Amino acid sequence: MPRNVTIKEVAAAAGFSYQTVSKVLNNQVKVSKQTEERIWKVANEMGYHPNFIARSLRSQRSGMIGFSWEPYPPDQTNQIYSHFMESIIHYCENNGYHILAFPYKAGSEWVDSYRNLIETNRVDGFILTSIEREDARIVFLQEQNFPFVAFGRSNPEWHFPFVDVNGAVGMRMVVEHLVSQGHKRIALINWSEVKSSSVGIDRMKGCMEALNKAGINVPAHWIARGEGDFAFAYKTSLEWLDTDPDLRPTAIITFCDVMAIGVMNAALNLGIRVGTDLAITGFDDSPQVQYMVPSLTSIQQPIWEVGCKVSEMLLGILTGNPPANQAILLEPKLIVRDSSSQPCNSS
Amino acid sequence: MPRNVTIKEVAAAAGFSYQTVSKVLNNQVKVSKQTEERIWKVANEMGYHPNFIARSLRSQRSGMIGFSWEPYPPDQTNQIYSHFMESIIHYCENNGYHILAFPYKAGSEWVDSYRNLIETNRVDGFILTSIEREDARIVFLQEQNFPFVAFGRSNPEWHFPFVDVNGAVGMRMVVEHLVSQGHKRIALINWSEVKSSSVGIDRMKGCMEALNKAGINVPAHWIARGEGDFAFAYKTSLEWLDTDPDLRPTAIITFCDVMAIGVMNAALNLGIRVGTDLAITGFDDSPQVQYMVPSLTSIQQPIWEVGCKVSEMLLGILTGNPPANQAILLEPKLIVRDSSSQPCNSS
């Protein structure tokens, strides 16, 4: 690697004092426009580049944003976080910050990683995801008075900067769509209440409110809550569907795409035509659901926009320009596909 | 944020000189075990933490590894890179390095990002992915003599440290599996030669060698090369399959899962039973293919292991212990599922 040109060398070549050149190259002083241009011209010609480490020592700022996320098992998709990460890297880099990606750890060990990065001056702020209802990281960072912005909400009594997608509105769109197709016998599959994050609670709330508003009563045994995975959704829907067509649900709402895929497989195994005899909806609009046969209706979250808003808010806080609104809810979008595009054919 | 305890304060409290305490806390000197323990005990009790920025200035090392990847479009899956990234973050963090994630840029602008990170002392080395056959980043980093390790191969005449998955072996496994099921009329869908990376070339080579060895001649019009996406695979296979069952292929090998999904959809639209009348294979074992009906046979890459090996090699180079073998090829695994598990039923 070529040696860096020093400020001293630039000063000698440009014919100005070390002090003047140093201050110009570090944007610390106003000199005449002519002097400034002359110094920068010489510096650029000589290949001068600011030394990040030396500059950090002076400013005690690292220019780094810490980011960590809870990984999915390798046999499950995790499109949301890949896309979110790309958007925050894009936004932060375009605004002079780099992303330091550090690993997820279970429980309180995760907080230790945050603590360590703060104590070693590694980062200037954090972007948080996978927010839990009583998130220990939020408690810790607020105690430390250390800058962060969250993708997601937590305990509603806590006040901290966040951007989130309005899952309740997404579920309302799903319910209104199904009701407009004539569905009355609607069943739901959600995560268990114990496991449920604020995400699950928010979606459930929107769902129940919209069903009540439409005058649709969902019997308790048609509200399943469990692991939130393929196997649970498959087993549950198999039991619901393996009965008289006039008694079984005509539509099943799931709270994430992989559960919807479980329901599709159960229907297929029973010879029930998805899209004709049974409507199914997912949530997240994962890349694969467009290719399913039939293709799956789902809710698309504006992930790129969330990432940009989170980054913008954090960088505003770091540079002393905090935005007035630090609680942003973005609206998702209903993507209707073949799994629910036909009117209900059962009375 | 609480103020950091200084070495001076630790020295005063522990009753040793500044020089001794500084050297012990920076692991720069051997003192008696008793002295060392006493100093660390006091330092820990007082909440002393090394200041990364100050330490970096002394060592001119950042403790950071730069990583960037070419994103997929948001409507496509990118499981490989999510998983790879998790593994390098895991390995590097466990060995005292952080990952600096920076954005992909098209063409030579990407090289500028690498240059900038080197010139600002941001990173000590790079992990490269999405390697092209004549990769400008490899040329640049070798010119700069800057440490890096690649996930993937490039121009075979270039010598640089890499870890890759043996795609040729993966394809040989696919061919041998299909041949053992009695398939003789086999067709292939690959990326176009122009677009093809060393990945595509490697897989094609393994495929053709295994077919030749099995005495199977693939007619030229059954070797399709195109965009490597759903639409191209769908259109191509629809043309092949929409003919007399005794003339059409009994097996179609694709070079990535999304192409296999395109073929499955084409077969379904023609009423051809996948797994019974037609065998289909993919590559990458994306999370969704286990849930397809029928589930898809695919090749699983040992991505976690690749990430660990790449990181281990780079950290070895950075710490002056370069491994003897800097060209590692790992073997993938064939996962046989319903799309190809039955013997060929056509003569």
Over 50: is that where the pLDDT of B246 sits? Answer: yes
Q: Is A82 close to B81, i.e. CB distance below 8 A?
A: yes
Distance (Å, rounded) from C-alpha B138 to C-alpha B136?
A: 5
**Residue A333 pLDDT > 50:** yes
- Written as one letter, the residue type at A246 is D
The alpha carbon of residue B140 is apart from the nearest alpha carbon of chain A, in Å, by 11
pLDDT band per the 50, 70, 90 thresholds, residue B219 = very high
Assigned CATH topology for domain A167-301: Rossmann fold (3.40.50)
The mean pLDDT value for A220-242 works out to 94
What are the extents of the domains in chain B? 7-50, 64-164+302-329, 167-301
Q: Which residues of B touch A49 (CB under 8 A)?
A: 119-120
- CATH no. of B64-164+302-329: 3.40.50.2300
Least confident range from A206-210, A276-280, A302-306, B1-5: namely B1-5
- Interface contact flag, B78 A75, Cβ < 8 Å: no
pLDDT at B2: 43
The pLDDT of B131-143, averaged and rounded, is 91
pLDDT in tens, A248-264: 999 999 999 999 999 99
Query: Is A71's Cβ below 8 Å from some Cβ in B?
Result: yes
Please answer yes or no on whether B49 and A120 come within 8 Å at the CB atom.
yes
Per-residue pLDDT at B293: 87
Is A99 close to B98, i.e. CB distance below 8 A? no
Q: Do A101 and B89 touch (CB under 8 A)?
A: yes
Verify whether the Cβ–Cβ distance B146 to A261 is below 8 Å. Answer: no
* CB distance A246 to A346 below 8 Å: yes
| A66 touches A117 (CB < 8 A) | yes
pLDDT tens for each residue of A175-230: 999 999 999 999 999 988 765 567 888 899 999 999 999 999 999 999 999 988 89
Instruction: Choose among B75, B83, B146: nearest Cβ to A1.
Output: B146
Residue B263: closest C-alpha in chain A: A291
User: How many angstroms away from the CA of B216 is the closest CA of chain A?
Assistant: 32
Quick one: pLDDT band at residue A151, thresholds 50, 70, 90? very high
| Selected residues 136-165 of chain B with any CB under 8 Å from a CB in chain A | 144-146
d(CA B90, CA A92): 23
The architecture that CATH gives domain A7-50 is Orthogonal Bundle (1.10)
Measure in Å the smallest separation between the Cα of B39 and chain A Cα atoms.
19
Side-chain half-sphere CA neighbours of B67 within 13 A: 28
Please write the tens of the pLDDT for every residue from B83-134: 899 999 999 999 999 999 998 888 788 999 999 999 888 999 999 998 888 8
Neighbours of A23 (CB within 10 A): 16
Fold of the CATH domain A64-165+302-330: Rossmann fold (3.40.50)
**Closest chain B residue to the Cα of A259, Cα to Cα:** B291
Q: Do the bridges between strand A279-281 and strand A327-330 make them parallel or antiparallel, or are there none, so unpaired? A: unpaired
Tens-digit pLDDT profile for residues A285-331 = 988 899 888 999 999 999 999 999 999 999 999 999 999 999 999 99
B64-164+302-329 shares its CATH topology with B167-301: yes
Q: Which residues contact A280 (CB under 8 A, 6 or more apart)?
A: A251, A252, A254, A260, A263, A264, A267, A274, A296, A297, A339, A340
Residue in A closest to B90 by C-alpha = A103
**Sequence-ordered alpha helix ranges (H) in chain A:** 7-14, 18-25, 33-46, 52-59, 79-94, 108-119, 136-144, 167-180, 198-213, 230-241, 257-269, 303-318
Query: What pLDDT, on a 0 to 100 scale, did the predictor assign at position A59?
Result: 61
Q: What is the rounded average pLDDT of the residues A105-116? A: 90
Q: Is the CB of A1 less than 8 angstroms away from the CB of B145?
A: yes
pLDDT tens by residue, B41-56: 888 888 776 655 555 5
Question: Is the per-residue pLDDT at B252 higher than 50?
Answer: yes
At residue A78, the pLDDT reads 67
pLDDT tens for each residue of A40-76: 888 878 877 665 555 555 566 889 999 998 887 777 7
- How far apart are alpha carbons B229 and B234 in whole angstroms? 9
Asked whether residue A1 carries a pLDDT value surpassing 70, the answer given is no
The structure's pTM equals: 0.81
- Mean per-residue pLDDT of chain B: 89
Q: For chain A, say whether B109 makes contact (Cβ under 8 Å).
A: no
